Amino acid sequence: MKLSGVELLRIRMPLVAPFRTSFGTQDVRELLLVRVVTPTGEGWGECVALADPHYSSEYVDGAEHVMRDYLVPALLRAEEVSAHRVAQILAPVKGHRMAKAALEMAVLDAELRARDTSFATALGSARDSVPCGVSVGIMDSIPQLIDVVGGYVDAGYARIKLKIAPGWDVDPVRAVRERFGDDLLLQVDANTAYTLSDVPQLQRLDPFGLLLIEQPLEEEDVRGHAELARHISTPICLDESIVSARSAADAIALGACRIVNIKPGRVGGYLEARRVHDVCAAHGVPVWCGGMLETGLGRAANVALASLPGFTLPGDTSASDRFYRTDITEPFVLDAGRLRVPSGPGLGVTPIPEALTEVTTRKSWLDS
Ligand code: NPG
């Protein structure tokens, strides 16, 4: 198909509570949405880049810039655009995976709507609902953490992930274990906050039966993770370091991780995310779907991805109300710790016009 035009929408969504990680605190989510228009319909994409380049080198203003000046013009020039061709068309632009992923997602949505096929079916879904975990930010105190975790346990979440950083690691983990018991599926996420000199401190997490520790070391330090793995018994899961199926294969071959967090934006799109899944499955490495505080659009696609057979651990695919009082789509609601995989054409959800208008701060239309 030939694209008629692309709309870029900047939105601003307040969070229900501040979300603190080892790299900063967020109380509002600035997002970039993409709407591709074709002669027969439209498709939606969501760019997961954050406002600031602290989780990854990409950030939302940069993503908008590269889309407007490079990526969208390339797609508009192409005579034949399909989701499977997007990566190839955009390949002359280096990096910018989150921006590329959003465009591919929108084209895939348009294509699948036209074929009356869901994301889940197209990606190879194996179930119609997925178990959900929730990510819990760094708190001001342990009693506050216990309160917050208790709320999520009561809501039915199947697994808890605690954000950790030097100074907020062993004590909160111990407190949560003691309060909620050994059966609670519990994992931690360091977002690159440690170095190999922290081995003794990270060893102190070993007794707590954690499912995994996520990305303890710097993004590029894959070999360091392999070294760390020789000193701790908690399985290492990589997030920031995995930017493609190839980097997943390399990390696995090096012994740097036993588990992989798949975020489609981080690896350049849902099609590459499926390839990461396939590489991991071929090596017997469990995967789970990460989250980037998505709206209902990104959440719909993530839940579809999380229904593939290799996703054997609960993902950060929490309900809409974990972050937002009002979502821009019909909200995703937890049911016995699970979310239903959308089955309608494409994403199976679309923005509710009034809800979208409410949060939109800027729009631009690009055509050839
Ligand atoms: O459920 O959407 C979610 C958030 C899950 O903790 C989460 N994401 O590093 O995985 C992460 C983390 C993150 C938070 C990443 C904020 C980027 C910004």
Q: Where are the domains of the chain?
A: 5-116+350-366, 121-340
Is the Cβ–Cβ distance between 236 and 212 less than 8 Å?
A: yes
Cα–Cα distance measured from residue 98 to residue 252, given in angstroms and rounded to the nearest whole number: 23
Does domain 5-116+350-366 bear CATH number 3.30.390.10?
yes
The 3 state secondary structure assigned to 116-185 is CCEHHHHHCCCCCEEEEEEEECCCCCHHHHHHHHHHHHHHCCCEEEEECECCECHHHHHHHHHHHCCCCC
DSSP string for residues in 225-282: HHHHHTT--SPEEESTT--SHHHHHHHHHHT--SEEEE-HHHHTSHHHHHHHHHHHHH
Q: Give the model's pLDDT for residue 368.
A: 85
Residue in 2, 100, 161, 163 annotated catalytic: 163
For residues 119 and 108, is the Cβ–Cβ distance under 8 A? yes
Distance, in Å, from the CA atom of 304 to the CA atom of 254, rounded to the nearest integer, reads: 30
- The helix/strand/coil state of 61 is helix
Residue 187, φ and ψ in degrees, nearest 5 = -145, 165
Which pLDDT band holds residue 22 (cuts at 50, 70, 90)?
confident
73 C-alpha to ligand 1 centroid (Å) = 31
Predicted confidence band at 122 (pLDDT cuts at 50, 70, 90)?
very high
Residue 292 Cα, ligand 1 centroid: separation in angstroms?
5
The mean predicted confidence, pLDDT, of the chain is 97
- Is pLDDT at 140 greater than 90 in this prediction? yes
CA distance 39 to 37: 7
Give the number of other Cβ atoms within 10 Å of residue 198's Cβ. 17
Three-state secondary structure call for residue 356 = helix
The pTM assigned to this predicted structure is: 0.97
Q: Which residues contact 322 (CB under 8 A, 6 or more apart)?
A: 16, 134
Neighbours of 334 (CB within 10 A): 21
For domain 121-340, the CATH superfamily is Enolase-like C-terminal domain (3.20.20.120)
Contact status, residue 313 vs residue 361, Cβ threshold 8 Å? no
CA 16 – CA 32 distance, rounded (Å): 20
**DSSP secondary-structure letter at 302?**
H
220 is written with which tokens?
């590029």
Residue 143 neighbours by CB distance under 10 Å: 10
Model confidence at 185: pLDDT above 90: yes
Neighbours of 333 (CB within 10 A): 10
Residue 85, pLDDT above cutoff 90? yes
Q: What residues flank ligand 1, with Cβ below 6 Å?
A: 21, 50, 55, 135, 189, 191, 239, 290-294, 316, 318
Say which of 94, 100, 161, 263 is annotated catalytic: 263
- What's the angle, vertex CA 218, arms to CA 216 and CA 221, rounded to 5? 105
The predicted-structure confidence for 29-74, as pLDDT tens digits, reads as follows 999 999 999 999 999 999 999 999 999 999 999 999 999 999 999 9
Candidate of 19, 135, 239, 240 to mutate for ligand 1, largest count of ligand atoms within 8 Å of Cβ: 135
Within this chain, domains 5-116+350-366 and 121-340 share the same CATH topology: no
163 is catalytic: yes
For residue 35, the number of C-alpha atoms closer than 13 Å in the C-beta half-sphere is: 13
What is d(CA 42, CA 223) in angstroms, rounded to the nearest whole number?
Answer: 44
For residue 263, which atom of ligand 1 is closest to its CA? 10
Percent residues over pLDDT 90 in the chain = 99
Instruction: Indicate whether 131 pLDDT > 90.
Output: yes
* pLDDT band, very low/low/confident/very high, at 23 (cuts 50, 70, 90): confident
d(CA 91, CA 107): 16
Closest C-alpha to ligand 1, atom 14: 292
Ligand 1: centre distance to CA 136 (Å): 9
Tokens representing residue 168 in the block: 């907020």
Nearest C-alpha to atom 12 of ligand 1 is from which residue? 292
**Tell me: the pLDDT tens digits for 299-348?**
999 999 999 999 999 999 999 999 999 999 999 999 999 999 999 999 99
Quickly list DSSP for 63-83.
HHHHIIIIIHHHHHH-SS--H
Write the pLDDT tens digit of every residue in 91-121: 999 999 999 999 999 999 999 999 999 999 9
Residue 286 Cα to ligand 1 middle (Å):
19
Between CA 195 and CA 183 the distance in angstroms is 30
